[in-house]
Amino acid sequence: MKTLTRMLKIATSNPFESNNYRYYKHSLFIESKEAMNRFAPFGSNSTMPNPIQILEFFSGAGGTSLGFAVINSIFPVFRFLGGCDIDSISAATYSKNFGTPVLCEDIIKISESANSIQEFLKSINFDPKLPTILIGCAPCQGFSSHRKKKWNDEDDNRNSLVVAFSKIVTEIKPTVFVMENVPEFLSGRYRKYFSKAQAAFYDAGYIVKQNIYNAAEFGVPQERFRSVIIGMQKEFLLPEGIYSPSEYKTVRDAIASLRPIAAGESDPHDLLHKAVAHKPSTIEVIKQVPHDGGNLPEGVGPECLSRVKGFYDVYGRLSWDKPAITITHYARNPASGRYTHPVQDRGLTAREVARLQGFPDGFSFEGKSDDIYRQIGEAVPPLLSCGIAVNILIELLSCEPSQYQLEAGVHSIDMPVSNSYSSVIAGIKTRRRA
């Protein structure tokens, strides 16, 4: 790794040299993954001397930026300008961890005109002469498969945020842009929103590629499928998963080392490891769910659950030796899904949820308990973004891939294979269990 570090320090001082560093992608990811465990918030403006600018819109707490940030602990390369989010608490969390100003602004207003975009850039000391990576992970609820009954509600304002981001990209013309969303974003139902943004990117001179990834492939102890769209001003390879299903990290790997606590208790040495004080009736229901992956027995719990299909995971326990299900901002509530501890009779603490999402213990969250669960559940898993960050950096510093490398690498999903990717994902999981 020392050789790689020296080479990359030289390369980042003169980006876009015709070298090939792709051999080092795996080792750089492993080194960065280990650095994730050592993460501590940056000091104010501490990354300003670094050569590649990072600006993130819809930043939330900063899960995507964190994947880039840990590379800085190996060698200083990324300069963080800020994370812009309309939610003030999320913006404050980003600022606290990355040493940047608090940017609580509406991207729709920023994207209104070239002047409004340039005024925003001026306010954050953006340097147009430096290489820039622009990140935009728009809120995913507008594209969620859980909205099947509302697929005709095409005026969901959240969907227009993607177009707003595309306007900013075409004005700034960053070296690289990254978009992340739910898999449904690339489905037939929502293709028009992606296609409109994609056309703008093409017109601005970008090569655009997209694929769907399981966060577990990058060491996240959670099965979470996400679409990732990357645009560069030169030919490049998409990221490749690191781990096979037999190597996936598990719930045990993530949370077994935490202190056992009962409902309503907290760990005096860890403020985030605090269990919700459930009602006695809720605890009685949880006690009847078999340990280690058990489901709610038939006839147990609220009567409404037995009358409605589709609630099979409600009150279910996580399995020790499997990845968790997708973590959402409802993960504190056992009645919202398979969010019950494998053996302890309670829901998940914020620390457990953070670890299952891949956040290191050194990451600091602002806000009250509900705010913290929301920020964690809405975040891009940092190790997934680490895999993306490593790939982008190496591709930036390497010569363009050969035709053989392009054919052998991960292919872009250029046509939707389904109106809904939720059924496709279910099939992937079923085939793996078979």
Residues 112-142 as b or e (16 or more Cβ within 10 Å = b) = eeeeebeebbeeeebeeeebbbbbbbbbbeb
Q: Please give the positions annotated as active site.
A: 140
> HSE-up of 141 (CA within 13 Å, CB side)?
9
Residue among 218, 238, 248 nearest 30 (CA): 218
Q: Rounded CA gap, 282 and 301, in Å? A: 8
Query: What is the Cα 44 distance to its own chain's centre?
Result: 24
At position 231, the amino acid (one-letter code) is G
Contact partners, residue 255, CB within 8 Å, separation at least 6: 351, 352, 355, 356
The gap between the terminal CA atoms of the chain, to the nearest Å, is 39
Tokens matching residue 224: 């979470």
Residue among 194, 190, 211 nearest 418 (CA): 190
